[in-house]
Structure 1
């Protein structure tokens, strides 16, 4: 079954008509945009990287080809790009959303698809972007599709996205423990989440692979917690020991420390000014991600 599915994923795409250099440039521009969209919300640092990593793990686990693993991972990185249209006060609201606000949030898959529609490489990811909130029971959005009509890449990213949302901090709650998040996936298997991909996530946990991603923003780099207000603080993937980082919400400064146990961030007692603490894209992370994605795509 999955050999047939992956052959559909690998079907003729515009990407095959473009050089590796052109694909790199086009995909880098999308990844940078997605990164800045993520930076609008101080509580979602590393979310795109983590969703992409979970999605790729699931695809690899099921024997997807290299090109299809790359496409699923790319869809995971770009899945929330439509949130560029959502006002910051809604994304950063510390309380529960009103019905009207949630209705606005629910526009982001369709907005993302419209944003990508004219892009030369939209066929690689547009289903992941537009349909990752559809549900097997037909209660998802934007179209209320049922299981048979939900593309496999969207089903994968739907599980990965939900798992990361549950195990990450939010303005209104602390991260949910991994075991509880997996139990929620299990309880909603076949209704909110595709049952096959829930089972794959459970298998990945049994193999000890999820802990390498949970609460990280890149390989081997954990998220840091602001001692003043709580939001996660991301560490640039090419940072060095003693570099300074700051909370995106309250601007509290921290200094990076590396030990045998890994990275930590120690408060300096200082605050930086908001102008100098504006988000800057993690160029090293994006370059690595795009390089890992483009090579398989251009070998198809």
Structure 2
């Protein structure tokens, strides 16, 4: 049941070429922040899963908006703002809805009550939403988009610091800054999996996701421009993407869930607490 939700979330991510690794990064940031805040057991496991699933509702956003290479118009942004509610509706009736609904529905609420979907403020925002919201925003700031490069970590931390208590939960935001200043976020930023950095498309920037099981001789594709890359073994022992000058065919560009990564996310959460403890920790 849990795997099916994570697969849906991953497919959503795969539709947007500039969010490669976003769900994994937010899940990892969320787990680190929760641990730093003294959260453990079922609640920690629940937050780790919620971090991966927070953007589930983007499955209802049209590709023309989700994949747009320019800044969104006000009308398009209004459509994007529907994704928390869409995600919550998708979870309706699911046996695990209570486990992840707070992160899915509330990760864009802010302490000042000025954000969406319901304009909740302060402690009225569920804990999972407040915590995942910090991690989601940080990853958005430090990730590249077609119209801007990702910020350096220090700059993003300064923005969080300047908006504590307004855009970001004061306690979780301050703890996240402490993690960042200690260098404990560096191994996650710019990566799509543990110790696997995003690689650069010559046309689009850091959009190439190389999976853990990928080997020299495999091909990977830019989800933005469709460019094909051949993996060659680098001096560091890792496969490096080299452009072939060709475009991928429709079958090659079709998203395919990274079931290995999803299994590892589930195993990580399960190692913290059994599923029933995750659910009970939400009550």
Please give the range of the TM-score, normalised by the shorter of the 2 chains.
Answer: over 0.9
**1:184 is paired with a residue of what secondary structure?**
helix
Which of 205, 213, 223 matches 2:180? 205
Unaligned runs of 5+ in 2: 278-283
SS at 1:138 equivalent: coil
More displaced, 180-189 or 274-283?
274-283
Gaps of 5+ in 1: 1-25
- What is the CA–CA distance in structure 2 between the aligned matches of 1:190 and 1:168, rounded to whole Å? 24
Cα distance, 1:252 vs. partner? 1.6
Partner in structure 2 of residue 297 of structure 1: 274
| In structure 2, distance between residues paired with 1:52 and 1:167 | 15
Q: CA separation in 1, counterparts of 2:85 and 2:52?
A: 16
| CA distance in structure 1 between the aligned counterparts of 2:92 and 2:242, rounded to whole angstroms | 44
Match for residue 189 of structure 2?
214
Query: Given the two structures, how large is their TM-score scaled by the length of structure 2?
Result: 0.92
Equivalent pair of 1:253/1:270 in contact (CA under 8 Å): yes
Q: Distance in 1 between matches of 2:22 and 2:104?
A: 15
**Which of 117, 132, 148 is residue 92 of structure 2 equivalent to?**
117
The CA deviation at 1:231 is 5.1
What is the alpha-carbon distance in structure 2 between the residues aligned to residue 187 and residue 279 of structure 1?
Answer: 38
Question: Structure 1 residue 260: deviation in Å?
Answer: 2.7
Q: Which of residues 262, 268, 271 is equivalent to 2:244?
A: 268
- TM-score, with normalisation over the residues of structure 1? 0.87
Per-residue deviation, 1:90: 0.6
Worse overlay, 218-227 or 61-70: 61-70
> Using a 3 Å threshold, how does the CA distance of structure 1 residues 263 and 136 change in structure 2: closer, same or farther?
farther
**Secondary structure of 1:63's match?**
coil
Task: Verify: 1:84 aligned to 2:55, yes or no.
Answer: no
Q: Distance in 1 between matches of 2:225 and 2:259?
A: 24
Is 2:270 the counterpart of 1:283? no
The answer to which structure, 1 or 2, has the higher relative contact order (CA under 8 A, 6+ apart) is 2
